Amino acid sequence: MGDGSAAERAAGAPDDAWVIETRGLTKRFRGGQLAVDGLDLTVPAGSVFGFLGPNGSGKTTTIRMLMGLIEPSSGTARLLGRPMPGAARTVLPKVGALIEGPALYGFLSGRDNLRRYDSADPTADPRTRTARVAAALDRVGLTPAAGKKARAYSLGMKQRLGLAAALLQPRDLLVLDEPTNGLDPQGMREIRTLVRELAADGTTVFLSSHLLDEIEQVCTHAAVMAKGRLLVQGPVAELAAGARGRLVVATPDPGEAARVLKEHGVTDVEAGEGRVTGSPPGADGPGLAELNAALVHAGVRVTGFGVERASLEDAFVALTGEGFDVAG
C-alpha cells in the first residue's frame, strides 16, 4: 500500500498539499532507545488525520518533534510548508495543540486560565479577549463551569479546557494528542463532533489515538505506528480494504462446522454460539462455494455464509500481529 507520497509527488502534488511532512524523522534517546525510526509522514491539507498506534509506539515523541519541543536525532519535519523547529516562531501561531494533557493553574478558574493563555500569545488582540475566551468555552461545552477553579475540574473537563485553549485563535492546523483521554462516552462524542466541525471549517486536524473506534469514526486518513516505525498510511477506507475479512458461517452446529472447515484448510477457526469464523481461503485453497457444499454434505445446517468486510482493527492486526484497544 505504501504511503502514496511518491506517486503524488510524481503527479506534481504542490508543496502546500502537505500540512505535515516528515522525511526520515528519527529520535534516539540517551541510552540508545530508538523512539521514532525513519518516519516518512504526509498529512494532506483539509484532512482529519488519525495517528494510530498502541501506547509506546512513538506517537507523542513524533508530535513533540513536529511542534519543536524536542530536536530530532536525524531527518526533517515541515509544518505548513515550513521547516521545524527552525520556523517555529512563524508557524506555531497558526497551530493549536493539546499534547500530553493541558498545563493548568489549579487556583484559577477555567475562564481565567484561558485569559492567561491568551495574554501569553503575542498575536492575540487584548480588545477581543473576553469574547474569544467565551466563544472557546462555549465551543467545548464548559460555559456552565467557566467560573469554577480548575483544580475542581474532572480529568475530562481539564481535557476540554485544554482544547478550548487551542481554539482561542483560528488555526490552520490542530494537533491533538489523545484528545478524548479521561472523557466519558458522551464527552467523547462531543469532542468527535467538534473535530468534524473544525474540519468542515477548513482546519486540518492531526489526531493521535490508541482507540481504533475513534479513528474509524472521525478520520479521513490515518497512519499506523508500532515500535517507532510507520507501518502504513493512507485514506482510512483504503487501509481497511487492504486487510482480508473473516469467513463467517452461521449455524446451529458450530462444532461440526469448525471441524469441516479445518479439514478443508481454513485457518484461525473460532467457534462460538451459533457461528463459526475463520480466515478466508487463499487463491490456492477451496472456493467459497466448495466450502459451503462441504458443510452441507457433512450434514451441517447452514443458515448464513459469507465473508465480512475487514475493519481497521483487522488491518491493524494483520500489519502488526497484535491488537490494542478498540474503544477504550
CA atoms within 13 A on the CB side of 28: 9
The residue among 185 and 117 whose pLDDT is bigger is: 117
Average pLDDT over all residues of the chain:
83
Based on the fold, state whether residues 114 and 251 are members of the same structural domain: no
Cis-peptide into 72, omega within 30 deg: no
Please, are residues 65 and 72 in contact by the beta-carbon 8 Å criterion? Answer: yes
Evaluate if residue 2 carries a pLDDT over 50. no
- Identify the bridge partners of residue 205 per DSSP, sorted by sequence position: 48, 174
Distances (CA, A) of 212 to 230, 307, 315, 318: 16, 21, 11, 14
Distance, CA of 99 to CA of 72 (rounded, Å): 17
Please, are residues 303 and 251 in contact by the beta-carbon 8 Å criterion? Answer: yes
Instruction: Kindly report which listed range (6-10, 44-48, 61-65) carries the lowest average pLDDT score.
Output: 6-10
Distance, CA of 164 to CA of 207 (rounded, Å): 16
Based on the fold, state whether residues 92 and 163 are members of the same structural domain: yes
Residue-wise pLDDT tens digits, 261-290? 998 888 888 888 888 888 777 666 677 888
Q: Quick one: what percent of the chain has pLDDT higher than 70?
A: 86
Based on the fold, state whether residues 179 and 292 are members of the same structural domain: no
Average pLDDT over residues 299-314: 76
Answer with the one of 212, 241, 270 that is the final residue of a domain. Answer: 241
What's the grid cell of residue 197? Answer: 466541525
Answer with the one of 186, 217, 241 that is the final residue of a domain. Answer: 241
Domain count, the chain: 2
Based on the fold, state whether residues 115 and 13 are members of the same structural domain: yes
Based on the fold, state whether residues 140 and 223 are members of the same structural domain: yes
Task: Give the range of the structural domain holding residue 272, as residue numbers without chain letter.
Answer: 246-308
Average pLDDT over residues 40-60: 89
CATH number for the domain that contains residue 276: 3.30.70.100
Based on the fold, state whether residues 89 and 167 are members of the same structural domain: yes
Based on the fold, state whether residues 168 and 278 are members of the same structural domain: no
Could you give the strand order of the β-sheet that contains 204-209, starting from the edge strand earlier in sequence?
95-98, 173-177, 204-209, 48-52, 221-226, 229-235
Average pLDDT over residues 161-168: 90
Evaluate if residue 167 carries a pLDDT over 60. yes
Based on the fold, state whether residues 28 and 90 are members of the same structural domain: yes
Vertex 184: Cα angle to 49 and 328 (nearest 5): 60
Task: Spell 83-116 as b/e; 16+ CB within 10 A means b.
Answer: ebbeebeebbeebbbbbeebebeeeebbbbbbbe
Evaluate if residue 146 carries a pLDDT over 90. yes
Residue-wise pLDDT tens digits, 194-212? 888 888 888 999 998 877 7
Based on the fold, state whether residues 41 and 91 are members of the same structural domain: yes
Based on the fold, state whether residues 291 and 236 are members of the same structural domain: no
Evaluate if residue 21 carries a pLDDT over 90. yes
72 pLDDT band, cuts 50/70/90, is: very high
SS3 state at 3: coil
Distance, CA of 170 to CA of 173 (rounded, Å): 9
SS3 state at 58: coil
Please give the single-letter amino acid code of residue 133.
V
325 within a domain of the structure (yes/no): no
CATH number for the domain that contains residue 77: 3.40.50.300
Answer with the one of 209, 241, 273 that is the final residue of a domain. Answer: 241
Based on the fold, state whether residues 221 and 104 are members of the same structural domain: yes
321 within a domain of the structure (yes/no): no
**pLDDT score at 157:** 86
CA atoms within 13 A on the CB side of 100: 9
